[in-house]
Amino acid sequence: MDNRIIIDEKTRHDYPDWIKRVTAGDGGESYLLLGDTKTALYDCGMAYCGDKLAENVREELGGRPLDYIILTHSHYDHVGGLPYIMKAFPDAVIAGGAYCADILHRPGALKVIEELGRSAAELYGADPDTVITEGMRVDIKLEEGDVINLGGHALEAIYTPGHTKCSMAFMSEPDHLMFASETLGVLLPRSNEYQPLILKSYSDTIKTIAKCRALDPKYIIMPHFGIVPADKMDKFWELVERMNREEYDFVTNLCRKGADFNELLDAYTDRYFVAGRKAEQAEDAFYANAIPTIKMYAREMGYELKGEVV
């Protein structure tokens, strides 16, 4: 069955007037949200283009202050630009999940964020020595149902574990627009292929999908992609539910047949690292997701992996 939702470039970036795409480089999307009384930057992208992101935000603000910085989760391609935005807009209040706040206090986590940021800088032809993580923090620890009111647009926090323990999505009212988290997966921009991104919990992901679908958003802004319009929503939910279930079944069925870790990884790679995904995702990035996903599926079904690589 087809794993794509065909959305052309113009449509996926046809944002409402109050949402400005300020993305500064490949690898991570950022949006400036302009309410009637307050403003917010939604995610901070990669570190290698953090200074350029700050320039883009300043230009779109047109003299207005930046009131909030909203973090969806703690991965390097979403928080990498945070120190540069903090330097440019020191009065902005940083909002994110409580677990995200905890992670950004851990020296080990910051080291990983820096290392991955430096690798991304090299990949995209930037200077890795410009990557910094100092000062990362969360000022407001968001919980389910908390609201950030921008004036004319209110963002309600939705706790969406599955991709990470700290993943948050947001529903904007009265627009009935959902800013999705990566627990709902991603659409690859060039191929329009859907891929699950379950790293921490399959059971939590299934609950998150059901919760988000029950909210019945009019349309969705997907991480790394852009807008899934109203006329594609039925197809979107069908694809999300089917592809996440199929991936879990694929791995766990091999576990039941006694596959060891390396056999699982080889089979998973042959099935999923193909076609459009190869064109849009580096091999090391694929394995960075594939390995914890396989381990997590085995753990949740109670299967003891053999032959596991470190």
- Break the chain into its structural domains and give their ranges: 9-245
Burial status of residue 105 (CB atoms within 10 A of its CB: 0-12, 13-18, 19 or more):
exposed
**Residue 310: per-residue pLDDT:** 55
Q: How far is CA 71 from the centre of its chain?
A: 10
**Residue 197: per-residue pLDDT:** 94
pLDDT along the chain (310 residues), means of 10: 87 97 94 98 97 98 98 96 97 96 95 92 93 95 97 98 96 97 93 92 97 97 96 96 96 96 95 81 83 94 82
**Residue 57: per-residue pLDDT:** 98
Alpha-helix runs per DSSP H in 129-232: 202-214
**Interacting residues of 91 by C-beta distance below 8 A, sequence separation 6+:** 65, 66
Q: How far is CA 139 from the centre of its chain?
A: 20
pTM for the model stands at 0.94
Question: Looking at the domain 9-245, which fold is it?
Answer: Metallo-beta-lactamase; Chain A (3.60.15)
CA-to-CA dists, residue 236 to 15, 66, 111, 158, 217, angstroms: 18, 33, 36, 19, 12
**Interacting residues of 144 by C-beta distance below 8 A, sequence separation 6+:** 157, 158, 159
How do 93-97 and 140-142 pair as beta strands? parallel
